[in-house]
Structures are given as structure tokens and as C-alpha cells.
């Protein structure tokens, strides 16, 4: 085990401080760091990221959060719950642009009720400070307004850690999005692999762990496991949570796949009613004419836990019909998954089957 900064010195050589090591296989797992928005004056005025905000010893009274993706929404709601007056600035016309619109709308309504001021189509164009106060110029539709806050937190994503690794010397291809890998997580140098945030589009801790397992099997045990075989769920940890796995309906239709969606509203799930957590839904998307699950979105207080059942079903090839057979303890919010399976089953009861069932019951009573 060597401690220190590592850098490639060649296609099969790495240096760690004063030591030079030769390898047959290598793994790059350097992760990512918070992305920095190029806003004039931001560095000079001072800002926090999703990593450095934990250095705060007290909740700032007034807070500007830049970015309306998962990280920005999580941060804005958390600090609002702690008592801060929060403004969330998002340059796009919608926040959580990758999620289904009705899911994002539920969260938008929740943030508004709690007091988060969401400003869409709004770009932070300049920042300055006077004493302990920070001033941010916000532009929307050509009009600029200035707000004063105590802290600014950026939540605009993460960038891969590729600088200073000597990747050129190792013949490893990369760009601003990270290291380029094939489906087996090999880089352009077949003896060097990469895993985690440094090479993945979806930068999640659980995805980093899954890809590290693939590399161990492929690099050390001659495995042939593929990145494309992973079924990766994700969750935005707001209240309510928004979890997703698989394809969105729009993605499926772009690929020429007809989609049928089965929706269960959480106010129809007994445990959600008992908990007072009726906001949200379970949506399971299947290929039309079959029960093959393409994807799912869950909006609920425990969506991150609930999505796992659908992830397992997709991974193991189980259809929505099979989810109806899974017995859930009553009452649990995860029963919404089973109810979606029941909704699919009801569509299989055609008029012909109803007539046959009626005739059978009438005959059996004789």
C-alpha cells in the first residue's frame, strides 16, 4: 500500500511520490468534484459546495442555491427546513429537467409550501460581497435584479477528477466528461480500467460501487461483465423523494417502443394515508401489449426504498404480472407496487374472459 499522489509515467508505469511501480492491470477511480459555475465575482465573494457546506456551524439566515437539479433541490429544501430563507435559481425553464413533469411539479408545490422561492429561467450573472453580505445579480428575460444573502451554495453537478494523472503518458483517452471506457470498463489502454464518477454519466455512489465490482471481475478473473447490463436506480432525497429506474416513456417512444403506464396515487395506499404522506404516485411503464417492465418512477416519502422492488424485477426479467403476486405486509407504502401489478391484471380481464367466467360460475352453482 502506497500513500501519496499517483501519476502515470507510461502505459504500464505509475509513480507515487518517489516510488516507481510497474503494473499489468490498473484501475482509475479518482471520482469527481463539485462543478464550478463560471460566474464573475463568485470566487472572490466566497461560496459553498455540497461538500464544503458541512463546514457551516450555524444555519445562514438567507441563502442562494444555484442549480435546480437533484443536488440543488435537496440542498434548498434541507436549509429551508432548518430555518433559512432560500432562493433557488435555475437557468432552465424547469427544475429537475430529467424527471417526469408531474413528479417535478409535486416537488415544486412542496417547495413552495415550505417557503423556498424558486426562480426559473434565471441566471446568476455576477456576485460581489460587502462585509459579511453577498450580493447576487439575477437575470431573467433581460431584466436584472439584485438580492442580498448570507451564503451561496452551488449545486450544478460534478466534474471528473482527471487533471494531474498523466493520462496522456498512459495513452488513456478522456475529455471534460471524464475518461472514455468501453462496455467492459476498459480505457483506450486495454491494461487500464476506470470505475465510478471519473468515467460515468450517472455519478452515484451505488453506481461507483457496482462498476468497481465489474472491474475486479473483468481485470482479475477474466470476466466479461458489461456496464450496459446494469440496471441503475436513482433517487432525489427531497420530501417527498423522487426515485426512478429504467426508461422514461419519452425515451422508450424515441426508440420505437410503445408504452403503457400503470399509475397508483399514494392517496389510495392505506399506509400513506395513515402516515399523512398521501402526496405522490407509483408509475410503472411496460411495453404495450405485454407486462415487460421498461421503467418506473415513484414519488413518495420512501420512494428510494420502494424503487428497489421494480429494479429487481427489471434485473431478473420479472413482468408486472409477477409483482401482483408478491405479498406485502399490510400496511406498507410499498403496497403501491403490488397495486400497480393488480391494475395490469385487471386489463387482462377482457369482455370474453368476463363472459366465460360468468358462465363458469353460473354452471358451478348448479
Where are the domains positioned within the chain? 6-30+166-229, 42-156, 235-347
Evaluate if residue 300 carries a pLDDT over 80. Answer: yes
- Please answer whether residues 162 and 30 qualify as being in contact, where contact means their C-beta atoms are separated by less than 8 angstroms: yes
Helix (H, G, I), strand (E, B) or coil at 255: coil
Query: Can you give the pLDDT at residue 308?
Result: 97
Whose cell is 416537488? That residue is 107
Q: Are 239 and 250 in contact (CB under 8 A)?
A: no
Same fold? 6-30+166-229, 42-156 = yes
Nearest of 65, 68, 102 to residue 87 by alpha carbon: 65
**Nearest one of 294, 308, 299 to 265, comparing CA atoms:** 299
Examine the pLDDT at 166 and tell me if it is beyond 80: yes
Q: What does the block give as the cell for 336?
A: 403501491
Specify the pLDDT at position 361: 79
Write the CATH number of the domain with boundaries 42-156.
3.50.50.60
Q: What is the mean pLDDT of residues 136-155?
A: 96
- Among 244, 241, 306, CA closest to 271: 306
DSSP 72: H
Extract the C-alpha cell encoding 329: 405486509
pLDDT of residue 358: 75
State which fold the 235-347 domain adopts: Enolase-like; domain 1 (3.30.390)
Tell me the average pLDDT of the chain: 95
Q: pLDDT value at position 365?
A: 80
Interval 15-48: pLDDT, tens:
999 999 999 999 999 999 999 899 999 999 999 9
pLDDT of residue 230: 97
Return the pLDDT at 350: 66
Confidence band, pLDDT 50/70/90 cuts, at residue 178 = very high
74-92 pLDDT per residue, tens: 999 999 999 999 999 999 9
- What Cα–Cα distance (Å) separates residue 120 from each residue in 35, 62, 68, 126, 238? 20, 19, 8, 17, 19
What percentage of residues in the chain have a pLDDT greater than 90? 92
Verify cis geometry, omega within 30 degrees of 0, for the bond prior to 203: no
Looking at residue 105, its pLDDT comes to 95
pLDDT class of 364 with cuts at 50, 70, 90: confident
Residue-wise pLDDT tens digits, 205-258: 999 999 999 999 999 999 999 999 999 999 999 999 999 999 999 999 999 999
Q: What is the pLDDT, as a whole number, of residue 173?
A: 98
Please report which confidence band the pLDDT of residue 94 belongs to, taking 50, 70 and 90 as the band edges.
confident
pLDDT digits (tens, 9 = 90+) for 302-333: 999 999 999 999 999 999 999 999 999 999 99
Cell digits of residue 104 = 417535478
* 328-351 tens-digit pLDDT: 999 999 999 999 999 999 988 767
State residue 304's pLDDT score.
Answer: 98
Q: What's the average model confidence in pLDDT over 150-178?
A: 96
Q: How confident is the model at residue 360 (pLDDT cuts 50, 70, 90)?
A: confident
Measuring CA to CA, how many Å separate 339 from each of 120, 269, 321, 345? 36, 8, 11, 10
Tell me which CATH code domain 6-30+166-229 carries.
Answer: 3.50.50.60
Amino acid at each position: 500500500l502506497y500513500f501519496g499522489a499517483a501519476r502515470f509515467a507510461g502505459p504500464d508505469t505509475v509513480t507515487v511520490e518517489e516510488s516507481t511501480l510497474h503494473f499489468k492491470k490498473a484501475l482509475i477511480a479518482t471520482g469527481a468534484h463539485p462543478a464550478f459555475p463560471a460566474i464573475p465575482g463568485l470566487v472572490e465573494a466566497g461560496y459553498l459546495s455540497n461538500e464544503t457546506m458541512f463546514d457551516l456551524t450555524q444555519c445562514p439566515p438567507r441563502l442562494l442555491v444555484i442549480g435546480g437539479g437533484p443536488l440543488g433541490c435537496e440542498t434548498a429544501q434541507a436549509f429551508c427546513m432548518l430555518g433559512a430563507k432560500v432562493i433557488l435559481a435555475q437557468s432552465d425553464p424547469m427544475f429537475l429537467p430529467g424527471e417526469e413533469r408531474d413528479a417535478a411539479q409535486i416537488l415544486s408545490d412542496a417547495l413552495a409550501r415550505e417557503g423556498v422561492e424558486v426562480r426559473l429561467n434565471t441566471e446568476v450573472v455576477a456576485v460581489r460581497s460587502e462585509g459579511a453580505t453577498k450580493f447576487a445579480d439575477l437575470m431573467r428575460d433581460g431584466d436584472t435584479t439584485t438580492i442580498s444573502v448570507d451564503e451561496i451554495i452551488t449545486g450544478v453537478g460534478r466534474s471528473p477528477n482527471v487533471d494531474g494523472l498523466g493520462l496522456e503518458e498512459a495513452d488513456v483517452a478522456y475529455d471534460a466528461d471524464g475518461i472514455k471506457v468501453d462496455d467492459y470498463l476498459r480505457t483506450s489502454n486495454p491494461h487500464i480500467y476506470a470505475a465510478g464518477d471519473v468515467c460515468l454519466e450517472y455519478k452515484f455512489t451505488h453506481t461507483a460501487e457496482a462498476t468497481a465490482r465489474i472491474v475486479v471481475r473483468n481485470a482479475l478473473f477474466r470476466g466479461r461483465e458489461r456496464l450496459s447490463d446494469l440496471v441503475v436506480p436513482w433517487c432525489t432525497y427531497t420530501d417527498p423523494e423522487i426515485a426512478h429506474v429504467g426508461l422514461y416513456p419519452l425515451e422508450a417512444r424515441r426508440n420505437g417502443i410503445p408504452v403503457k403506464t400503470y399509475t397508483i396515487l399514494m392517496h389510495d395506499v392505506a399506509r400513506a394515508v395513515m402516515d399523512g404522506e398521501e402526496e405522490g404516485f407509483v408509475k410503472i411503464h411496460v411495453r404495450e401489449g405485454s407486462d415487460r417492465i421498461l421503467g418506473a418512477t415513484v414519488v413518495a416519502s420512501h420512494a428510494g426504498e420502494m424503487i428497489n422492488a421494480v429494479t429487481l424485477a427489471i434485473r431478473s426479467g420479472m413482468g408486472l404480472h409477477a409483482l401482483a403476486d408478491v405479498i406485502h405486509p399490510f400496511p406498507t407504502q410499498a403496497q403501491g407496487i403490488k397495486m400497480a401489478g393488480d391494475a395490469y391484471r385487471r386489463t387482462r380481464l377482457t369482455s370474453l374472459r368476463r363472459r366465460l367466467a360468468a358462465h363458469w360460475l353460473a354452471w358451478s352453482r348448479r
